[in-house]
Amino acid sequence: PSVLDSFALLSGQLNTLNKVLKHEKTPLLRNQVIIPLVLSPDRDEEIMRQTEGRVPVFSHEVVPDHLRTKPDPEVEEQEKQLITDAARISPDAAQKQIQSLNKMCSNLLEKISKEERESESGGLRQNKQTFNPADTNALVAAVAFGKGLSNRRPPGSGASVQSGQPGAGAIIAGASGMQQVPMTAAPAQQQPMLAGVQMAPAGQPGKE
């Protein structure tokens, strides 16, 4: 019942207000001048909400701009001059000027769009990577720290020569792909083999 009573009261007030506004003696609201009654330099959240954040305060600086119904006198004079100049031009001349202006605007828009496409394509070319960062890091780690390299020696790469132990076999590695020649002579009588050719010791004539 309380809600119905309140609704009936609001409905009656709205009907009364509509009757007053529709009365022939009531002046039109569009012909009335809005006069600000309260001006404050403080921030008003309600005005911020109503103006979507455009007007933070309702002070004496913004009131003349927001409540103005006519343009500035200078702007009004310029507008009158433009209207007078437009009235002097014939329809054919006006159409030619419109076509030339449209052509200029089309050329300008085409140039702008072309420059935008070129700048976008240039940016894509500059941002495109021409290398693989993972491969580069792996290569640097292998060269600097030996990371990822195998400790095994391939066959035929050579072995260390053990000297000072009598009767030990010494193998001297030749070039890649050459046969290894075992030597079992004493250290003082070892004859080096270089590339499969036997070299005579010092003090003995060479043999072919």
Over the stretch 34-52, which tens digit does the pLDDT of each residue have?
Answer: 777 788 888 888 888 888 8
* Alpha-carbon gap, residue 101 to 109, rounded angstroms: 12
pLDDT band of residue 187 (cuts 50, 70, 90) is very low
Alpha helix (H) ranges present in the chain? 2-22, 45-50, 63-66, 73-88, 91-127, 133-145
Compute CA 150 distance to the chain's CA centroid, rounded to the nearest angstrom: 43
Q: Could you tell me if residue 81 is inside a domain?
A: yes
* Residue 127 pLDDT: 65
The answer to whether residue 171 sits within a structural domain is no
CA distances to 39, 61, 62, 72, 78 from 75, in Å = 27, 20, 19, 5, 5
Which of the two residues, 14 and 125, has the higher pLDDT score?
14
pLDDT for 155 equals 61
pLDDT at 22 over 70: yes
Quick one: pLDDT band at residue 32, thresholds 50, 70, 90?
Answer: confident
Pairing of strands 197-198, 181-183: unpaired
Q: Which pLDDT belongs to residue 173?
A: 41
Lowest mean pLDDT among 49-53, 144-148, 183-187: 183-187
Helix or strand holding residue 182 (H, E): strand 181-183
pLDDT for the residue 194: 44
Q: Residue 138 domain-assigned?
A: no
Give yes or no for a contact between 204 and 189, defined as CB atoms under 8 angstroms apart: no
Asked if residue 32 is part of any domain, the answer here is: no
- Calculate Rg over the CA atoms of the chain: 51
User: What region, left, alpha or beta, does residue 8 occupy, with left being phi > 0 and alpha being psi -120 to 50 degrees?
Assistant: alpha
Query: How far apart are alpha carbons 97 and 90 in whole angstroms?
Result: 11
Answer whether residue 27 is part of any domain.
no
Give me the domain span that covers residue 75.
71-120
Q: Which residue reads 């052509």 in tokens?
A: 103
Domains in the chain, number = 1
Is 87 inside a domain boundary? yes
DSSP, collapsed to helix, strand or coil, labels residue 154 as coil
